[in-house]
Chains A and B, each alone.
Chain A
């Protein structure tokens, strides 16, 4: 069970206070209406899903309710870094 440092609270907390939201740094296209179905589909659904070092967006949902990025290894479950979005 993960032990996560919230970069806002600056404390380590048990995983249950958090949850994972999505791959980190997904950016909403600036002109959705100008996107093709394919571009929009890629934004909506297609992910890197890396095995190894990966950046994820998490939220401290029963804490400060801030979203932040976790850099973690999806294979070893090590957390390498957490940082504000």
Chain B
């Protein structure tokens, strides 16, 4: 892999940038792989990278029906944090956070992880009780959460209207300083480049249309473009299509796919230096390095695979933004879009074996998948390598929907997404 640095940049500049190597190969698929990963988003690419890097599995393919990183990786609001309530979830997201912290250098690709902190605002007494509870739980898990007073919040975010005469005044917030944002596309590209360098075949434009099944076990995938591809193990990481894939394998998932919308303003000079989320008034906002205000909302209530939602949801979200930031009223919204999020009943992912042997699913990240990208790939790679769950992933099995051991993270999902 060609090393990236200011020095190589300079060296290439002298040669008019004529000699940059392609970031990844464009191979044709082999007949057989040790592991086939279906879905070339951030999670799938990270899985492939860690399989090759940590588990010495190099005969790995990532099959992506579109372009890599083109699903939710390409259309999220890039918030990264680990301040989840329940131990199981907090450990998983904190695992991911630690990987984020070294990711740019690990991948030799600047993913622009910006640890500018995330605020979760409280507007009612119950919000504050929930915040206190979550922060205390975080601290016991070694996660850097604190509760801030209204005054402290105001100091961090001067543009926020912290006065007491709002409809829902800000009573305080939780604050995770290590949290932040990253450049979403770069995460997919960085993992893809590093995985490719370790020998992983990344096949774009390869649509999985079915699984080859023998005696209740999966032996490969059927693709539209390349026919059958054999695999000893198959991992599906296809947010927005999880149920579609599982139905090909003959089982249902505890998942419903909803549109989740986001929008950006025109680029502005720096006005917001941290991420602000509010569960109660229902919106979140940050400012990208390019200057756009990046705004997210709750999901649309219906099932939808259209990568777009209803205008009323955008209206609701902007109302919430103006409730918090009345001074943004004359700022203009440039663009809105939507992704498809796979929601589970407890707002926690499914990382699990399935009723089909050798077929594993990593799905149901709902609205919070981006932040988990490194962690998700890391733990899923060990599931695919070992063929079974680890300590970290065990609580996230499908089994929990039968026993009732759900991990209800709706409150900590930042914005109550259902």
Contact = CB atoms under 8 A, between A and B. Distances in A.
Are A and B subunits of one complex? yes
A1 B312 contact: yes
Contacts of B201: none
A74 B243 contact: no
Interface string A56-85: 100000000000000010111100000000
Interface stretch (A5-13, A26-34, A37-45): A37-45
A49 B310 contact: no
Nearest to B402: A41
Nearest to A16: B312
B403 interface: yes
B301 interface: yes
Interface string B248-270: 00001111110000000000000
A19 B301 contact: yes
B401 A47 contact: no
B117 to A, nearest CB: 35
Per DSSP, chain A at the interface is mixed
B302 interface: yes
Interface residues of A, number: 28
A54 to B, nearest CB: 6
Contacts of B241: 51
Contact of A56 (B244, B302, B305): B302
Contacts of B305: 51, 74-75
Per DSSP, chain B at the interface is loop
B244 A51 contact: yes
A74 B306 contact: yes
Contacts of B310: 1-2, 15
B10 interface: no
Contacts of B254: 41, 45-47
A51 B302 CA distance: 12
Nearest to A75: B305
Given A1-B312, A42-B252, A51-B244, A37 B402 contact: yes
Contacts of A37: 402-404
Interface of A: 1-2, 14-16, 19-20, 23, 37-38, 40-42, 44-51, 54, 56, 72, 74-77
Nearest 9 CB-CB pairings of A with B: A49-B243, A45-B254, A41-B402, A20-B302, A46-B252, A1-B310, A20-B301, A45-B401, A37-B402
Given A44-B345, A49-B255, 19 more contacts: A1-B310, A1-B311, A15-B312, A20-B301, A23-B256, A37-B403, A41-B401, A42-B252, A46-B252, A47-B252, A48-B252, A49-B253, A49-B257, A50-B303, A54-B303, A72-B302, A74-B304, A74-B305, A75-B305
